Amino acid sequence: MKKIVAILFLGILGFFIFSGIYANDAFGSFGKVNLNDRVSNKFITKSVTNDNEIVEYNKSSNLETGSSNYVTSIVVNYRSFDTLGEVTVLFVSSLGVALLLGSFGGKLTLKYKANFILRVGAKTVFPLIALIGIYIFTHGHLTPGGGFPGGSMIASAVLLLYLSDENFRAKMSSFKLTESLMGSLYVLVGIFGLFTAGYFLSNFLNTGVVGNLFSAGIVPIVYVLVGLKVGSELTGIITDFLKEEVNE
């Protein structure tokens, strides 16, 4: 009975949404979007503050944002404030998990016995995964990826260690310190921009040539901070979930 009511309700809701969206011209022409109608047009030509016609890879220099990955230029330059908020969301939810499960202690015992290959293999690939994570967030302005995927990759390496070794404990105090330091530095980079250029989180460094590793001004710096922060936050969440329940 309940299922039928739910399906009926969703049928009405779905009809409402479908018909409402179908009525709009913006959806009738799926895939025929003209970017000139959207704010993204200026993100592509990097011409919000000055007029340039065309950006060319490995040629154009000193643009308003020097990242060759447009998504990164939006995430860390045009809409950097959102990213600060996003980091905060992750920060506060890891804090919430820690508060909820803080009374738990010890570490969950694994239901299986980690065999030799798993133990040695995990230790061998751990530095490689961590290295790739670092590569991803330092190259966030050139290739797909950035602080968040890179950070999660580092955390996944730590999870691998947890799963392969019963006695492994991450040093949470140092992770907490990293988290705190990186977050504060992100805000301080923003405040530095406020006092030097007049805008919070403004790019106060030279943006260089599009496509070079050392380019894009504060983007790589912010992504390194975000990557390390996300890595330590996710490690914190994993560690909290792997704690054993203690009868209160």
Partner 1 sequence: MTNPVLLIVIPLLMAFLSIALKKSKKTLLFLAAIFNVLQVFIIQNGNYIIGGFKAPYGINLNLDSYSHLAVISINILFLLVIVMSSEKINKYSTVLLVSLAGLNGMLLTGDLFNLFVFLEIVSITAYILSTESKKYKYSFNYLTLGTLGSGLYLFGLIVLYAIFGSLNMADISSKMVSYDANKLIVPMMLIFVGLAVEAKLLPFNGWAKGVYGNTNSLIGALFASVYAGTILFVFGRVFGQVLLVSSYLKGVLIVIGLVTLIAGEASAFSKTKLREILVFSSIAQSGLVALLFVSGLIFPAVLQLLNNIIAKAIMFTVAGRISDEAATDDVDSLKGLFAENKLIGFAFTVSALSLIGLPLFYGFYSKINLLLGLFSKSSLLVAAFILLATIVEGAYFIRLLVKLWDPGEEGKESNIKYITDKKVEFDVSKKIIVFALSLIILLAGIYPSLVKDNLFNTDKLLNEDNPSYMFNLKGGM
Partner 2 sequence: MIQYVSILLMLIGIYGLLINKNIIKIIVALNIFEVGLNIFIISVGFVSGGVAPILTSVNNSSALIFVDPLPQALVLTSIVIGLGTTALALGIARKMYTTYNSLDLEEIGGINND
235: contact with partner 1 by CB under 8 A: no
Which whole-number Å values give the CA distances from 7 to 2, 12, 21, 22, 137, in the listed order? 9, 9, 20, 21, 44
Q: Which of 74, 232, 55, 238 is nearest to 146 (CA)?
A: 74
Whichever of 88 and 115 has its CB closer to partner 2, that residue is 88
Q: Show contacts of 29-34: CB within 8 Å, 24+ apart.
A: none
Binding site for partner 2 (CB under 8 A): 2-3, 6-7, 9-10, 13-14, 17-18, 21, 27, 30-33, 35, 38-40, 43-46, 54-58, 68-71, 73-75, 79, 82-83, 85-86, 89-90, 92-94, 96-97, 100-101, 143-144, 146, 148, 210-211, 237, 240-241, 245
CB 217, min distance to partner 1, A = 11
What Cα–Cα distance (Å) separates residue 195 from each residue in 48, 75, 188, 198, 201?
A: 22, 22, 10, 6, 10
Residues 76 and 219: their CA atoms lie apart, in Å, by 6
Answer with the entry of partner 2, partner 1, none that 148 interacts with (C-beta below 5 to 8 A by kind): partner 2
The answer to whether the CB of 71 falls within 8 A of the CB of 40 is: no
Does position 48 interact with partner 1 (CB under 8 A)? The reply is yes
Task: Give least dist CB 39 to partner 1, A.
Answer: 5
Q: Tell me whether residue 181 or residue 221 sits nearer to partner 1 (CB atom).
A: 181
Query: SS3 of 191, please?
Result: helix
Beta bridge partners of 105: 244
**Positions in the binding site for partner 1 (CB under 8 A):** 16-17, 20-21, 23-24, 26-27, 37-40, 42-43, 48-49, 64, 77-82, 84-86, 88-89, 91-93, 95-96, 99-100, 176-177, 179-181, 183-184, 186-188, 190-191, 193-194, 197-203
